[in-house]
Chain A
């Protein structure tokens, strides 16, 4: 079995017109950066990987994740995590409840709660369980969003301009955190960005599309 994320002759077209064609392999723990101008289909590619393509798009080829063919699976069964430019914390849930939503099912109530406290500790937010996400700073939100995603135990990670909303200093810090965590867990990462410096900083191969 090959580990990592394989895009096997993946081709996306919109209303019959070819948009993106890609054939590549992202090994576990590595980052593939995808660059291209707006409208080149970067976000569409990510939507194909999460299984949330809008009507009118068709795909051919296969997506293989750690040996599983996930091409036709519904989003929630793919185990593909995604981070967007915005933190997208659920505003009606507390910080702790956001994390619980992400935590994979299983375990007793107490065990689950213990996991969440541990996770909060891990990102330096101990005591934040009942906090309203709207009251957090930008960096805190980003860390909660990352942790929520990690708690769902994904097997791959997608980043959709995930750091471009942060100011430069914070960006550096969060990027380091994300990549470290991804590497520790051996996750293949696909990052979409329009910023060459960011693609450079990721340290992996850079693929230009469009």
Chain B
């Protein structure tokens, strides 16, 4: 009997689910009175939550920004895919996906904030010659009480994620053939896309859409930068309660976290009902036989919006870069008067330690995640395990449960177990978020690998391990490196897990950058934001170039 690998998927699931479950327990138990917090009364906490004057607004904001961002991101993706199917524009956007995706949320949000503020880059470029503004106008663009800036920012940042998942799904469903048939039956390209391809794509990207919804409802760092302040979103308020010196407020935070969780569950349920309604209506439309003719205007709109949303994020990063070299830079100058290296000289030396910490954590986390994911996938292949929908949903669970709902509880439990802080705890907490992305990114190419190569290898006398290490892993080097890059980017971008599991002692580029954001020194934020972006991008650059070098004489494996 060969050594069984079935324990690997179990270990992987445990690494994913135990922290989430324990964290939720740490939040709920004190509220139920099962764990006692001195000086805090559960009933009082719930009463205080209900009495908080911002409760209605903050809850409403959570819902509107969540639904708004998800709907906009999804609409943008549908528009782009249905209008630009097979065009060069889509190929260009596809190339931009990795940098857009790996951009840490905080850096992207800050770049966006500087771009669209009344004293921001856009206003500076058009002032005073076009606008007549010698001083920035007093316009409420950022931090608006309706959360519009927050919602737009999230939509722009989440659309690339949905686009990537949709493109992956398209690869699996033979969209080209369906389209050809539908067009032969007299449907326009976009009509054919919506009727034949979209339903299949949506089925595949459903869980990612849920992730975007849950994330947009509960995000903390982006909301701190772009979101309203009167009141803030519920998630930011929970963080404040959770970190207040007054203990009873912690219980209030726990009550808030529970409310946030309920809101997310409710929103997911509403979305689910909506999906079914639209599916029913859509079926009627599809079977009606109507032939819609493409609206000529939609295609330019699709390219325009796609380009604009990519441009907004990339220009924002360019803004960070300019700020990092800026001397005095007053409104309405389009560029800083003196460009200077002083900011880098001043903040650069302090970057060393956080860069090292970020790299150690990201690389270790990614390596562990890769081993667990490859082990699980190999176990699946060797033992003929079938990935069930339920198991896939479990994989998404850490992404669906709001971070703000379970991480504070985890902190309390870690303390109880004597695992105060430190790098290993941070790595364990990062694993919860890195494993799902590494798995999602790796599983399709892994399963798509032609298993007859394995049969041939075995028939040539190679053991299963030799087949794995000498054939399968080298052949899948490109997707493995891509998955590793995704894992690194996810780890680099983590804020709350690093802060809470690290006990504040673990300083990564992201915790430093967000701490600086609360200050508002744009030059320092520029330096850290650029460093953070590079930390996320360099692994992608390696994943792109390394296979080209290694496989320069292996045409079948060389990336296009």
Q: Is the CB of B459 within 8 A of A154?
A: yes
Nearest CB in chain B: distance from A58 CB, A? 13
Q: Is the CB of A133 within 8 A of B456?
A: no
Name the segment of A7-15, A25-33, A87-95, A196-204 touching the other chain.
Answer: A87-95
Query: With a CB–CB cut-off of 8 A, which chain B residues contact A134?
Result: 554-556
By secondary structure, the A interface counts as loop
Tell yes or no: B2 within 8 A of A by CB: yes
Q: Is the CB of B459 within 8 A of A152?
A: yes
Report A80-105 residues with CB < 8 Å from chain B CB: 80-82, 84, 86, 88, 90-92, 94, 101-102, 104-105
Query: With a CB–CB cut-off of 8 A, which chain B residues contact A105?
Result: 461
What is the count of residue pairs linking A and B with beta-carbon distances less than 8 angstroms?
Answer: 84
Q: Is the CB of B459 within 8 A of A81?
A: yes
Q: Is the CB of A76 within 8 A of B463?
A: yes
Query: With a CB–CB cut-off of 8 A, which chain A residues contact B450?
Result: 86, 88
Query: With a CB–CB cut-off of 8 A, which chain A residues contact B383?
Result: 55
Query: With a CB–CB cut-off of 8 A, which chain B residues contact A154?
Result: 459
Query: With a CB–CB cut-off of 8 A, which chain A residues contact B345?
Result: none
Q: Is the CB of B460 within 8 A of A132?
A: no
Q: Is the CB of B458 within 8 A of A132?
A: no
Tell yes or no: B182 within 8 A of A by CB: no
Nearest CB in chain B: distance from A206 CB, A? 24
Q: Is the CB of A91 within 8 A of B455?
A: no
Nearest CB in chain B: distance from A123 CB, A? 17
In the docked arrangement, what's the CA distance between A54 and B385, Å?
Answer: 10
Q: Is the CB of B457 within 8 A of A101?
A: yes
- Within 8 Å by CB of B555, from A77, A78, A88, A135, lies A135
Tell yes or no: A148 within 8 A of B by CB: yes
In the docked arrangement, what's the CA distance between A13 and B463, Å?
Answer: 27
Q: Is the CB of A92 within 8 A of B557?
A: yes
In the docked arrangement, what's the CA distance between A117 and B320, Å?
Answer: 59
Name the segment of B83-91, B206-214, B363-371, B468-476 touching the other chain.
Answer: B468-476
Q: Is the CB of B555 within 8 A of A84?
A: no
By secondary structure, the B interface counts as helix
Nearest CB in chain B: distance from A30 CB, A? 20
Q: Is the CB of A50 within 8 A of B453?
A: no
Tell yes or no: A75 within 8 A of B by CB: yes
In the docked arrangement, what's the CA distance between A47 and B557, Å?
Answer: 28
Q: Is the CB of B475 within 8 A of A148?
A: no
Closest to A130 in B: B553
Query: With a CB–CB cut-off of 8 A, which chain A residues contact B454?
Result: 52
Closest to B555 in A: A134
Chain A residue total in the interface (Cβ 8 A):
36
Closest to A92 in B: B474
Q: Is the CB of B452 within 8 A of A84?
A: yes
Q: Is the CB of B455 within 8 A of A52?
A: yes
Query: With a CB–CB cut-off of 8 A, which chain A residues contact B247?
Result: none
In the docked arrangement, what's the CA distance between A76 and B471, Å?
Answer: 15
Query: With a CB–CB cut-off of 8 A, which chain B residues contact A135?
Result: 555
Closest to B476 in A: A92
Query: With a CB–CB cut-off of 8 A, which chain A residues contact B553?
Result: 94, 130, 132
Tell yes or no: B288 within 8 A of A by CB: no
Query: With a CB–CB cut-off of 8 A, which chain B residues contact A132?
Result: 553-556
Nearest CB in chain B: distance from A50 CB, A? 6
Tell yes or no: A149 within 8 A of B by CB: yes
In the docked arrangement, what's the CA distance between A82 and B553, Å?
Answer: 27
Nearest CB in chain A: distance from B470 CB, A? 7
Report B447-496 residues with CB < 8 Å from chain A CB: 450, 452-464, 470-471, 474-475, 477
Closest to B552 in A: A132
Contact with B along A40-58 (1 / 0, CB 8 A): 0000000100111011100
Nearest CB in chain A: distance from B511 CB, A? 40
- Within 8 Å by CB of B554, from A52, A82, A91, A149, lies A91
In the docked arrangement, what's the CA distance between A152 and B456, Å?
Answer: 11
Tell yes or no: A74 within 8 A of B by CB: yes
Query: With a CB–CB cut-off of 8 A, which chain A residues contact B462?
Result: 76, 101
Q: Is the CB of A88 within 8 A of B453?
A: yes
Report B541-555 residues with CB < 8 Å from chain A CB: 551, 553-555
Q: Is the CB of A91 within 8 A of B452?
A: no
Query: With a CB–CB cut-off of 8 A, which chain A residues contact B463?
Result: 74, 76
In the docked arrangement, what's the CA distance between A48 and B543, Å?
Answer: 39
Q: Is the CB of B556 within 8 A of A133?
A: yes
- Within 8 Å by CB of A90, from B2, B464, B471, B551, lies B471
In the docked arrangement, what's the CA distance between A114 and B556, Å?
Answer: 27
- Within 8 Å by CB of B384, from A54, A92, A133, A148, lies A54
Q: What are 17 A-B pairs at a CB distance below 8 A?
A: A50-B458, A52-B458, A55-B383, A74-B463, A75-B459, A78-B459, A81-B459, A84-B452, A90-B475, A91-B475, A91-B554, A92-B477, A148-B460, A149-B459, A149-B460, A152-B459, A152-B460
Return the 10 tightest CB-CB contacts between A and B, nearest first. Answer: A55-B384, A75-B458, A91-B556, A134-B555, A134-B556, A152-B460, A92-B474, A102-B460, A82-B459, A76-B458
Instruction: For the A-B complex with A82-B459, A88-B453, A92-B471 known, give 15 more contacts whose Cβ atoms are closer than 8 Å.
Output: A50-B459, A51-B458, A52-B455, A74-B464, A76-B461, A81-B460, A90-B457, A91-B475, A92-B475, A92-B557, A101-B460, A132-B554, A132-B556, A134-B555, A152-B460
Residues of chain B touching chain A, judged by Cβ–Cβ distance below 8 Å, are 2, 383-384, 450, 452-464, 470-471, 474-475, 477, 551, 553-557
